[in-house]
Structure 1
Amino acid sequence: MKHLFTLLSLLAIQGLYAQQNISSFFSGTWKVEGKELYEHWDRLSDDHLKGFSYGFSEGKGISTIEYIDLKATNGKLIFEANVIGQNDGKAIQFEGSSGKDYYIFLNPEHDFPKKILYKKFSEDTMHVAIGAGGKEYTFNMIRQVTTGNPTSTAIVDTTYDEALAQKLNADERGMKSYFFVVLKTGTNQTKDKNLINESFTGHMANINRLVNEDKLIVAGPFGKNQDNYRGLFIFHNVANESELAIILKTDPAIKNSLLDFKIYPWCGSAALPMYLPFSKKISR
């Protein structure tokens, strides 16, 4: 679990500020001092953050290490981290508590880390200590100002369009919440060609209907893969996962169990739906 501590500790800091409903100063990208390890996170609301950590390796380029979901609920700060390739794909949960100038997350049942401590040194530097069973790692992290390349320090010169941001329901980082749906092979192994053809004809028609209703904004198939993943959807303007599950079951291929689905909350640019008018102009 050696990579887990980096993103968790950073987001722990932002969690403190999220609970107090103050500026999202810590949103953005931070770098582990002396290492090519980075964390980036975005604020979905005053009490909800999403982020990820990534690194650079020679000859392999950039690679994502973990994803995290952080929420302040019922007086508690809880985050879940999902480290790629570990823990059978399951998220690991920690609970936070705070004191003057520090913040601690604990999970006594976890192998490593069991404790994550941070201390803010300055507006651009924070100190992190990660420990379990008498073993502790400490390091500093430095705030980065980037233009999309994590190694760049150039300040971005942008013109903020407040009216457009409000129209797209963007937060102060230009982001908003979506639902990411992975479609996979269903349990129905029928050889009935008529049922299959009718179901997938209806599948395509249902996609077009949902696009026209301004709910579905991305749809597309995967290439052949060992996980039997067939395609993906990205939805917005849907209240919750329960409502989305009902919507998905209007798809004949899903209704007939030729396809199954898994729903994931997802954060992305609020400008994503703006590509749709152009997509119609480039397809014959």
Structure 2
Amino acid sequence: MKYILTSLLLLLVHQTFSQSTFPSFLKGTWKQENTSLYEHWDSLNLQTLKGFSYILKEGNMKVSEYLDLTSKNNMLTYTATVVRQNSGKSVSFKQIKAGAELVFENPTHDFPKKLVYKRISDSEIQVEVSDGKGKGETFKMFKQGGEGVKDTTTANPQYDKALAEKLGSDDYGMKSYILAILKTGTNQTADKNELQELFRGHMNNINRLVEEGKLVVAGPLGKNDKTYRGIFILKDVGTIDAAKELLQTDPAVKAGVFELELYNWYGSAALPEYLPASDKIWKIKH
């Protein structure tokens, strides 16, 4: 969890922050003092911020973790999903204090267990990451692009604002998706009529989700030793739990012919743009 140590930007709010106030000021890009570590946050809705942490080296961006800050019942939860750690599982920190200092805790996590954020100014915050017993580190982060702060990002002369807004793109042309891997399930029925009916429902459900704008990629995988059968990429469905519930509308998933592995995935916001073309190149419908 080393990236959590250096990337929890920041959930410090204004001195007047109350538990009913959502810290939307985090939207934008922040940089940790004396490092090449950045975080970028975008507002998904009035209760949710989505972000990611990345290292910038020689102009190349390497994402280290995906972030989520959600308000529910006037309480905030900060969730981090670290790339190539914890088998893709997320770690959440619950708000225990608001005000001049915003505090999150997860006593069961190895490290950190406690996060404290102190606002210094609109463009600077101090973050303390600890084990809850005083052992840890403190560092500052600075908001990029603000007054007196140099923004080192490169502008795109071909940038199409209307298209970017239509696609829900962030400043990097990217957005968050849910990747679903379909695996062979526990229901291994050999009844051909039952299987035929389930797979017909499976295909019909795929088409429905595409029409509803929820599914942008679907396709089978070649034979492999992991029993992986196919993939879906879902957009604008929110959380992994919401995606799991949505995919229960697939008869083959519901019947246990397929099981699911679900992951947060960060990719080009332009991905759905291939769909109109894909509907013009098939000759025979499945």
TM-score above 0.5, yes or no? yes
Q: Secondary structure at the match of 2:2?
A: coil
The match for 2:148 is none
Residue identity matched to 2:34:
G
Once the two structures are superposed, what CA deviation does each residue of 1:171-197 show, in whole Å capped at 9, x if it has no partner?
A: 997998865433122123456778767
| 1:154 is the counterpart of 2:180 | no
Q: Secondary structure at the match of 2:210?
A: helix
| 1:83 is the counterpart of 2:82 | yes
Q: Is the 8 A contact 1:186 1:257 kept in 2?
A: yes
Once the two structures are superposed, what CA deviation does each residue of 1:96-139 show, in whole Å capped at 9, x if it has no partner?
A: 22222x32222334332122122233333322221223322122
The match for 1:43 is 43
TM-score (norm 1): 0.70
| 1:216 is the counterpart of 2:238 | no
Partners in 2 of 1:159 and 1:63 — Cα distance?
A: 24
Residue identity matched to 2:126:
H
Q: Report 1:175-254 matches (<5 A).
A: 180-189=179-188, 200=199, 203-204=202-203, 206-212=205-211, 214-222=213-221, 227-235=226-234, 244-249=246-251, 253-254=252-253
Residue identity matched to 2:260:
F
Q: Secondary structure at the match of 1:121?
A: strand
Go from structure 1 to structure 2 and tell me whether the alpha carbon gap of 1:35 and 1:62 turns closer, same or farther (over 3 Å shift).
same
Q: Is the 8 A contact 1:14 1:27 kept in 2?
A: no
The match for 2:143 is 143
For structure 2, the residue ranges without an aligned partner over 5 or more in a row are: 146-150
Q: Report 1:1-284 matches (<5 A).
A: 1-10=1-10, 12-13=11-12, 19-21=20-22, 24-55=24-55, 63-87=62-86, 89-96=88-95, 97-100=97-100, 102-132=101-131, 133-144=133-144, 152-155=152-155, 158=159, 160-161=161-162, 165=165, 168=166, 170=168, 180-189=179-188, 200=199, 203-204=202-203, 206-212=205-211, 214-222=213-221, 227-235=226-234, 244-249=246-251, 253-254=252-253, 257-262=256-261, 272-282=271-281
Once the two structures are superposed, what CA deviation does each residue of 1:227-276 show, in whole Å capped at 9, x if it has no partner?
A: 54332223468795576244222xxx435533222456778777654431
C-alpha RMSD over aligned residues: 4.3
Residue identity matched to 2:136:
E
Q: Secondary structure at the match of 2:41?
A: strand
Greater alpha carbon shift after TM alignment, 63-72 vs 184-193: 184-193
Once the two structures are superposed, what CA deviation does each residue of 1:21-65 show, in whole Å capped at 9, x if it has no partner?
A: 57x44223322222232222221112212222233679xx75433
TM-score (norm 2): 0.69
Residue identity matched to 1:244:
L
Go from structure 1 to structure 2 and tell me whether the alpha carbon gap of 1:83 and 1:226 turns closer, same or farther (over 3 Å shift).
farther
Q: Is the 8 A contact 1:9 1:117 kept in 2?
A: no
Q: Is the 8 A contact 1:6 1:53 kept in 2?
A: no
Q: Is the 8 A contact 2:247 2:253 kept in 1?
A: no
Go from structure 1 to structure 2 and tell me whether the alpha carbon gap of 1:139 and 1:223 turns closer, same or farther (over 3 Å shift).
farther
Go from structure 1 to structure 2 and tell me whether the alpha carbon gap of 1:5 and 1:192 turns closer, same or farther (over 3 Å shift).
same
Go from structure 1 to structure 2 and tell me whether the alpha carbon gap of 1:113 and 1:144 turns closer, same or farther (over 3 Å shift).
same
Once the two structures are superposed, what CA deviation does each residue of 1:187-237 show, in whole Å capped at 9, x if it has no partner?
A: 234567787677556644543354345543321344666654332223468
Q: Secondary structure at the match of 1:275?
A: helix
Residue identity matched to 2:21:
Q
Q: Is the 8 A contact 1:181 1:263 kept in 2?
A: yes
Go from structure 1 to structure 2 and tell me whether the alpha carbon gap of 1:262 and 1:118 turns closer, same or farther (over 3 Å shift).
same
Go from structure 1 to structure 2 and tell me whether the alpha carbon gap of 1:112 and 1:179 turns closer, same or farther (over 3 Å shift).
closer
Q: Secondary structure at the match of 1:211?
A: helix
Residue identity matched to 2:219:
G
Offset at 1:277? Answer: 0.8
Go from structure 1 to structure 2 and tell me whether the alpha carbon gap of 1:86 and 1:193 turns closer, same or farther (over 3 Å shift).
same
Q: Secondary structure at the match of 2:8?
A: helix
Q: Is the 8 A contact 1:180 1:266 kept in 2?
A: yes
Offset at 1:144? Answer: 3.6
Go from structure 1 to structure 2 and tell me whether the alpha carbon gap of 1:177 and 1:53 turns closer, same or farther (over 3 Å shift).
closer
Q: Is the 8 A contact 2:202 2:250 kept in 1?
A: no
